[in-house]
Amino acid sequence: MSNLLKRIKDTVLADMHEALDQKERKNPIALLNQYLRECEQETEKVRKLLERQYSLKDEFTREYQFANDLAVKRKKQADVASKAGETELYEFALQEQTQYEERAAYLKESLKKVTQQLGELEQKYEEMKHKLKDMNIRRLELMGQENVARAHHRMNQVLDKDTNQSFSRFQEIETYLDRLEQQIKSNYYRDTIDGRIAQLEKKMKKEEFDSIS
């Protein structure tokens, strides 16, 4: 049964890796974005743990202060009871003082450990944030490179005679522009010739009329 489960697990993992490989080949930037989102989620988890550690430190600090204050208070009370000859009250205050002092010492040590752990977590969290920022910057660089590569590829398709629609469409437009230019020139010359001939005819008729007169 365990061997069957292991084979199923291996098969699922293999399929998953294959799917990721195909996704990476098809769109590497999309896969990179997915990885970065996962890193952001892990960083957010660490941030929440860091907040929890701050809360724990505050709790330990309050408990230590409380125990220490009571230890000092019971010591003063024990001194008062001793001077007053209240043996039973003195012994009770002394016992309380000892318990609070031991608790305060334990809490002080715990607070020291929590503070040290907090420092380590802060350092790790800062490292994670810097790495995440660096990865985002590299992602932007890769996106820029990919964009340039796609643009060059697209432009090469447009400008390459051997490619199909893009170049033919540009060629069609250029041909149309050439034809339009020739038509405009032709119309201009035709209008110019018609005007000049009309002027010549008018001039010739005037000269003919003047010569008859």
Q: Which tens digits make up the pLDDT trace of 117-168?
A: 999 889 988 988 898 888 888 888 877 877 787 777 777 766 665 555 555 6
- Spatial separation of the C-alpha atoms in residues 178 and 184, rounded to whole Å: 10
**Maximum alpha-carbon separation in the chain:** 164
Per-residue pLDDT tens over the stretch 28-57: 777 778 888 888 888 888 889 889 999 999
pLDDT grade for 189, boundaries at 50, 70 and 90: low
> Is 0.75 surpassed by the pTM of this model?
no
- Helix 2-26 to helix 28-83 angle (10° resolution) is 120
| The two structure tokens encoding residue 132 | 């995440």
In this prediction, residue 43 carries a pLDDT of 86
pLDDT grade for 7, boundaries at 50, 70 and 90: low
Q: What is the pLDDT averaged over residues 160-179?
A: 63
CA 130 to each of CA 101, 126, 127, 142, 151: distance values in angstroms, whole numbers, following the listed order: 43, 6, 5, 18, 31
Higher pLDDT, 62 or 135: 62
Q: What is the pLDDT averaged over residues 192-212?
A: 74
- Closest to 121 measured CA to CA, from 62, 54, 59: 54
Higher pLDDT, 196 or 112: 112
| The two structure tokens encoding residue 6 | 């292991």
Return all residues near 150 (Cβ < 8 A) that are at least 6 apart. none
Per-residue pLDDT tens over the stretch 67-107: 999 999 999 999 998 888 888 998 999 999 999 999 999 99
Q: Which residues of 34-50 are buried (b: 16+ CB within 10 A; e: fewer)?
A: eeeeeeeeeeeebeeee
Per-residue DSSP letter, 160: -
Return all residues near 118 (Cβ < 8 A) that are at least 6 apart. 50, 53, 54, 57
Quickly list DSSP for 93-156: HHHHHHHHHHHHHHHHHHHHHHHHHHHHHHHHHHHHHHHHHHHHHHHHHHHHHHHHHHHHHHHH
Q: Would the pLDDT of 5 be above 70? A: no
Per-residue pLDDT tens over the stretch 106-126: 999 999 999 999 998 899 889
In this prediction, residue 24 carries a pLDDT of 47
Q: How many CA atoms lie within 13 A of 134 on its CB side?
A: 6
Report the Cα–Cα distance between both ends of the chain, in Å, rounded. 129
